[in-house]
Amino acid sequence: MPVPKAELHLHIEGTLEPELAFALAARNGVDLPYADTGALREAYRFQDLQSFLNLYYELMAVLRTERDFEDLADAYLARAAAQGVRHAEIFFDPQAHTARGVAMGTVVEGLWRALERWGSPRSSEAESGGEETHGVSTRLIMCFLRDESAESALATLDAAKPHLHRITGVGLDSAEVGHPPAKFREVYEAAAALGLRRVAHAGEEGPPEYVTEALDVLGVERVDHGLRCVEDPALVARLVRDRIPLTLCPLSNVRLRAVDTLADHPLPEMLDAGLLCTVNSDDPAYFGGYAGDTFDAVRDTLGLGPERLRELARNSFLAAFLDDDEERRSR
């Protein structure tokens, strides 16, 4: 039995497996510039974050209807559930869809159909092929693309207003360097005023100062990645003191070359330093593993013992936004 865990750093568009991409392309009459799934997988050799993002945005062309988003989330939740995920906080990138003429409502309502279905336990033979599968509770976190303008982020928040009863928080993702958190001060203030939780990617490729700025200027409660905090001992001390969770993604860090190999990942030292670390899969279709695969990889390669693995699982629930139901209902 895989250890029960929460997944807190997961881009739903990054769960698009080649097989589903081709199936959706056929359904929607979209031409993909790859001969087959094998040729597409061959393209999964990334030099850095940008080289990954180029493919990630290109493949989104196959996502067009509510049913596409529902199928995408359904496939992710089936895999996550099988690997012990009991709670998932799911990022989505509305601007990557609205820019292609796909409406905010299509994205949110499509995802929601799958999320709603997985929110209760499922154990019927017909549905699970005889295997016991548990439900997965979920939250949606809407991310702003930081390489787009602050005005575009504000317009995106505005477009989300009819759907806020489905959205728990806001995040910040895409190309980090050159797009510091402070660029999004205004939209984060507006999100806070709407009762939304706040997270942001920081310190993935960007410097430790971006982590500090995400905390001070955007008021984030949790830092996505935060890996480069290790370069600044005063920042590490602050993160430890304030129990700020980091949603680390070790397999992503290897594929996007933030670390040379998984054996070089500083996760063990970060745990030793007292940081509230979680491990997550980020974009599992692209980076070679879902939540359970990620736990197995850090256990096997970084030599984390049962105590540390239990700590990571415990941290994932501690850092989750599991206390917001009352607040969401009142919005």
Residue carrying structure tokens 């899969």: 281
Is 283 marked within a binding site? Answer: yes
What residue 174 binds from Zn ion, ligand HPA, none (CB within 5 to 8 A, per partner kind)?
ligand HPA
**Nearest distance from residue 282's CB to ligand HPA, in Å?**
5
Q: Which is nearer to ligand HPA, 254 or 308 (CB)?
A: 254
Question: For ligand HPA, which residue has the nearest CB?
Answer: 173
The residue whose Cβ lies closest to Zn ion is 282
Rounded CA separation 123/19 (Å): 26
Look at residues 304, 310, 291 and name the one whose alpha carbon lies nearest to residue 263: 304
User: Nearest approach, Cβ of 1 to ligand HPA (angstroms)?
Assistant: 29
Give, as one character, the DSSP assignment of residue 256.
T
Q: Which pair of structure tokens corresponds to residue 29?
A: 């009459």
Q: Say which DSSP state 261 is in.
A: S
H/E segment holding residue 165: none
Is the CB of 32 or the CB of 223 nearer to Zn ion?
223
For the CB of residue 35, give the shortest distance to ligand HPA in the complex, in Å: 25
Smallest distance from ligand HPA to CB 120, Å: 29
Applying the rule CB under 5 A, the residues between 149 and 208 that interact with Zn ion are none
CB-neighbour burial class of residue 129 (10 A; exposed 0-12, middle 13-18, buried 19+):
exposed
Catalytic residue among 66, 89, 176, 204: 204
Of the two residues 122 and 171, which places its CB atom closer to Zn ion in the complex?
171
Q: Which one, 110 or 226, has the nearer CB to ligand HPA?
A: 226
45 Cβ neighbours under 8 A, 6+ residues apart: none
The sign of the torsion formed by the CA atoms of 120, 122, 123, 126 equals: positive
Does the annotation list 11 as a binding residue? yes
- For residue 161, the 8-state DSSP code is G
Q: What angle do CA 119, 74, 36 make, to 5 degrees?
A: 165
Q: With CB cut-offs between 5 and 8 Å by kind, which of Zn ion, ligand HPA, none does residue 84 bind?
A: none
Asked if 13 interacts with Zn ion (CB under 5 A), we say: no
Structure tokens at 299: 């256990």
Nearest approach, Cβ of 324 to Zn ion (angstroms)?
Answer: 21
* Residue 106 contacts which entry, ligand HPA, Zn ion, none (Cβ below 5-8 A, type-dependent): none
Least Å from the CB of residue 40 to ligand HPA: 17
Closer residue to Zn ion in complex, CB, 71/205: 205
Decide: 296 and 250 in contact? Cβ < 8 Å: no
> From the list Zn ion, ligand HPA, none, which binds 15 (C-beta under 5 to 8 Å, kind-based)?
none
How would DSSP label each residue in 79-144? HHHHTTEEEEEEEE-HHHHHTTT--HHHHHHHHHHHHHHHTS-B--HHHHTTS-B---EEEEEEEE
- Binding residues (CB under 6 A) for ligand HPA: these are 11, 14, 49, 56, 173-174, 201, 204, 252, 282-283
Our CB check for Zn ion shows the closer of 17 and 282 to be 282
Concerning whether 58 is annotated as a catalytic residue, the answer is no
**9 known member of a binding site:** yes
Q: 9 φ, ψ to 5°?
A: -140, 95
Chain positions 246 to 305 lying near Zn ion, rule: CB under 5 A, are 282
Q: Which residue has the tokens 């997550």?
A: 280
Q: Annotated binding site for Zn(2+): which residue ranges?
A: 9, 11, 201, 282
Residues that bind Zn ion (CB under 5 A): 282
Q: Any idea which residues carry the catalytic annotation?
A: 204
